[in-house]
Structure 1
Amino acid sequence: MKLKHPYKFGKGYEKPVAYFSMEFAIDQPLKIYSGGLGFLAGSHMRSAYDLKQNVIGIGILWKYGYYDQTRKHNNEMDALWQERHYNFLEDTGIVLEVTIDNHPVKVKVFYLPPEVFGTAPIFLLSTDHPENDHLAHTITHKLYDNNIATRIAQYVVLGIGGAKLLEVLGHEVDLYHFNEAHALPAAFRLLEKLGSLDELKQKLVFTTHTPVKAGNEVNDPNLLHKLGFFNGFTIKDIEDLVGFENGMFNHTLAALRMSKIANAVSKKHCEVSRDMWGGFEDVCDIIPITNAQNKAYWVDDEIEKAYQKKNDKKFLKRKLEMKKTLFELVADQTGKIFDPNVLTIVWARRFAGYKRADLIARDAERFERLLNNKKYPVQIIWAGKPYPLDHGAVSTFNWLVHFTRKFHNATILTGYELGLSALMKKGSDVWLNNPRIPLEASGTSGMTAAMNGSLNFSTNDGWILEFGEHGKNGFVIPEVDTSLPEGEQDRHDAEHMMQILEEEIVPMYYDDKAAWTTMNYQSMEDVEKYFRAARMADEYYKKLYNL
């Protein structure tokens, strides 16, 4: 197969780039993503196509995806791993070979043509090959497999397999762009060809997403070497090249030492990353390129038209229609019929401890008063997929299942993927986001909510620091002193959240619709200015690629 881009490259976007990512959230049918990292990569590939950029994506075809979020008999969460088969992917006939644990592993290559979903060309790698043994087959079964050896093998397939694919295609690229450090083995494949770290650095750029040092993966170099992660280089070679931390290989630190330049995913995250890695020698510059989302994919055309004409009547009418569509799904999943005329708050994203899904219900009596207010009724919907072995996050999900059972106007949905995400953004009035500061590197769900006439209500973290103006385009919880114990921080944020809801958000929604729609228009205008993926994809070229 010879790769041919289906379009003439736009001015300034001619430099060929290969974008490596463990996950891509392209469209609902293609289940090869878990959350924000994938949503970002999917929007990037769509905007690369829109702008006619010389980019290709390289990822993995996960046979069982991340997982399907289902329910047990008592409505608690369950995880289902189901085989996926896609008739829109082309089998290229290309078979690569990578070495894992001193065994040859065959890698099949599938192609997602740009015209299927409107993306840059994307290649997906799979170890589902008849000549592989069972263990090799399992490498590309589950995204973020909980077995450490399997996960390292996944990195080898993505990195070395992806690098070999470019060679087989004869597709010379000027830059490898790693979305997180998963594809690092590609750097060692390149190093073998180029011969020096200085030359390698000219070929690599890196996007880091994690704002906590403990969240950056660290592994035993002996295990990595045994599994083929270093592409044949000795442990001593690697230590001389990028150094070890207390005898361990730090994936992010290695990527920062081997790249020409790196980007953080918001301005605040850039400050945090520079503080985190600034004390280490030989780390490349880290610049901010704030995450963004592809507007054409996410926005509802009718709400956009009403906003453009500032037609309040049509805007509110369309919002009601979108709420009704969401509430049909709510009724189908939960047996609860919601009212489109009632203020609807949505909390929906990956369930993780620092995102604090249950913060609004921290004071149960106050929460009940909010829900049971006859004059100003409120509805609330949760959704989100925890990592299935994150028992704390699963426990929070299940607690909400039981907690909301007694309320006619509160519930929790399963299956938070692209389709449900879009429905919830279009059908919400308020998009609630309350991560513990400063742990949200960027966050993007609120961007696409704003595009669809939902007002952000958030702690002042991630992208909100660059967007949120309290009372003008949304609502921002005052910043807490982060030196306080976590329990005190939670108490502060919960108290201010409820106060803003009771005194500002709820009364405005019911008593001053003109002010509400004006704020929505401002929110839509402000999100348009800077948080469209076209700006992000353009900045990748201007600030990372064309150096």
Structure 2
Amino acid sequence: MNSKYHRWHHPYKPAKGFEKKVAYFSMEFGIDQALKIYSGGLGFLAGSHMRSAFELKQNLIGIGMLWKYGYYDQGRNKDQTLRPEFIEKHYSFLEDSGHEVEVNIFGNSAVKVRAMVLKPSVFNTVPMYLLTTDVEGNDDLSRSIMNNLYDSNELTRICQSVVLGIAGAKLVEALGGADIYHLNEGHALPAFFYLQNQGVGREKMVFTTHTPERAGNVERDARALNDSGFFGKKLSHEELMKVTGGSDRLSYTVAALRMAKKTNAVSKLHAKVSREMWEGNTGSKGIFPITNAQNQKFWQDSVLEKARKNNNVTAFQKRKATLKKELFEEVLDQTGKIFDPKVLTIVWARRFAEYKRADMLLRDMERFEKILNDSKHPVQIIWAGKPYPKDEGAISVFNRLVHFTKYRANTAVLIGYEMALSKKLKEGSDVWLNTPRITREASGTSGMTAAMNGSVNLSINDGWIPEFAKDGKNCFILPEADYKSPVEEQDAFDSVNLYECLEQKVLPAYYDSPDKWSQIVFKGMDDVVPAFSSNRMATQYYKELYQ
């Protein structure tokens, strides 16, 4: 047991303005490649927040989950298509905090939850407490709650929320309590119900909403939630109807909006979309933006940044060529293809979801083949990302790209899209391609860290991009489709504009106007920091959400 971390403790005195004790709850954290408790953007965002909170000496702790198998490991079948693998994880750098609490789940009143601690000295984060039910004395079913991040079984997912929310809140109490309880997305909603039962006022509860479409906001059967222990105590039918507003289902987001003192969205556009989406619900009018950001110290290559500061194009290009070679060693190892550091390299890499349209370039094959075979303006393209392991549609898109790229020497699909590969792709790419359907990307953060490393954003004007973009000066932006038009029309409109932008702007700028290209690269690096660094974001949370 680590006695220091048996109570609320930081290795520093909190800095002025950051004294409030804040407990930050998130289902996933992307802290380091080695700690596989993340799946994608939500985790990367939360991880950067924990690093910046440490750098700024904030009085904040992280409350998360210790997933036995992580999200999943990305393997390949014999034909190179996707094979999800679930491999047990062990971390010698985590220590037992000495805290164990019990929660009531589906009538089992004694499910033990132990808190392991990630000390600040390991990865330069604030103290982080990771919860697990894989504890001696628990039955197999209780232990299995912690197997998989975003388990596909609905009842297991409910149990995971109970553990994160209620066990997490009990842990914070045992550590000495907090001034603010911050839910990063609605997964830990039971914390609010538990705190309310304990007499904690809503002035201590704040909420960040991420998903700008109703389908992505969790709704569950209210009776199943009541039976599970989700509300911290068994509610009568009348009490349950009061909580759900008379519905037989509970929207986590609607409940969190109602219970939180303040709610923020994760970009200016997302705040507008969220206010419209939840109009008529308590708390919806007050949704305000704190735009997502990423940790500069972790994500940015220091040699590239030094070259930018000195406006030294030669030093930048030399370092970029080295980083491209390092990325291309990974391409060669995985695919047997030799990529050329002198050739413009485009990367599409993020979570595989239908609305993100990973295969947009394949929409008009004749036109795309012309781009791929242009000897005057050659191009190399890499795709990477993890589909949800049960999302057959997203997996089929991934596999389609695998088959398309297999025998083309200048295209590749990489597996193992986690923090280390993400970093390599951002450092080694020339262009970062982003193709979501407009208004459906709440923020997106991968383009921020790409820009920090001199990779030029080529993007739909969605999420954080409208706050950053100066088309043709720090990035390339596609014309906006009518987001209310049929999906097929949007996809046709966007793909035509993407081909035109590549043919007429991006490739000619890179090959025919290298000075102009360097200006765009450096301008992107100038504009992304500090506006989209998580030190700005973590400061804004204290000033605007926690105060």
TM-score range, shorter chain: over 0.9
Q: Is 1:471 matched up with 2:476?
A: no
Q: Is 1:34 matched up with 2:39?
A: yes
Q: Percent identity?
A: 56
Provide structure 2 residue ranges, at least 5 long, that are not aligned to the other structure: 1-5
Q: Is 1:383 matched up with 2:388?
A: no
Cα distance change, pair 282–369 in 1 and its aligned pair in 2 (3 A): closer
Report Cα offsets for 1:205-242 as digits up to 9, x if no partner.
00000101121111111100111101114054654654
Give how far 1:482 is off.
1.7
The equivalent of 1:121 in structure 2 is 127
Give how far 1:3 is off.
3.0
Of 10, 17, 24, the residue aligned with 1:19 is 24
The equivalent of 2:106 in structure 1 is 101
Secondary structure class of the residue paired with 1:137: helix
Secondary structure class of the residue paired with 1:33: coil
- The number of residue pairs the alignment matches comes to 541
Report Cα offsets for 1:119-151 as digits up to 9, x if no partner.
011000001111111101110110000000000
Secondary structure class of the residue paired with 1:105: strand
258-267 vs 505-514, which moves further: 505-514
Cα distance change, pair 283–431 in 1 and its aligned pair in 2 (3 A): closer
Distance 1:256 1:271 in 2: 15
Q: Is 1:317 matched up with 2:318?
A: yes
350-359 vs 98-107, which moves further: 98-107
Give how far 1:247 is off.
2.1
Secondary structure class of the residue paired with 2:404: helix
Secondary structure class of the residue paired with 1:530: coil
Q: Is 1:80 matched up with 2:81?
A: no
354-363 vs 272-281, which moves further: 272-281
What do you get for the CA RMSD once the two structures are aligned?
A: 1.1
Report Cα offsets for 1:160-184 as digits up to 9, x if no partner.
1011111222x22111000001111
CA contact (8 A) 1:262 1:284 kept: no
One-letter amino acid of the structure 2 residue matched with residue 270 of structure 1? A
TM-score, normalization by structure 1? 0.97
Q: Is 1:164 matched up with 2:165?
A: no
Distance 2:221 2:204 in 1: 26
The equivalent of 2:294 in structure 1 is 293
CA contact (8 A) 2:222 2:240 kept: no
Cα distance change, pair 84–150 in 1 and its aligned pair in 2 (3 A): same
Distance 2:20 2:45 in 1: 21
Report Cα offsets for 1:365-414 as digits up to 9, x if no partner.
11111111111100000000010101000000000000111210001000
The equivalent of 1:139 in structure 2 is 145
Q: Is 1:490 matched up with 2:491?
A: yes
Secondary structure class of the residue paired with 2:459: strand
The equivalent of 1:155 in structure 2 is 161
> What are the within-5 Å matches in structure 2 for residues 58-77 of structure 1?
58-77=63-82
> What are the within-5 Å matches in structure 2 for residues 131-530 of structure 1?
131-169=137-175, 171-194=176-199, 200-236=201-237, 238-239=239-240, 241-244=242-245, 246-281=247-282, 283=284, 285-530=286-531
Distance 2:319 2:178 in 1: 46
Cα distance change, pair 517–303 in 1 and its aligned pair in 2 (3 A): same
Distance 1:84 1:153 in 2: 21
CA contact (8 A) 1:330 1:413 kept: yes
Distance 2:360 2:18 in 1: 44
The equivalent of 2:117 in structure 1 is 111
Distance 1:119 1:219 in 2: 34
Provide structure 1 residue ranges, at least 5 long, that are not aligned to the other structure: none
Distance 1:474 1:239 in 2: 50
CA contact (8 A) 1:211 1:440 kept: yes
Report Cα offsets for 1:316-354 as digits up to 9, x if no partner.
111111100000011001111100000000000000000
Distance 1:166 1:478 in 2: 48
Secondary structure class of the residue paired with 1:262: strand
The equivalent of 2:3 in structure 1 is none
CA contact (8 A) 1:300 1:426 kept: yes
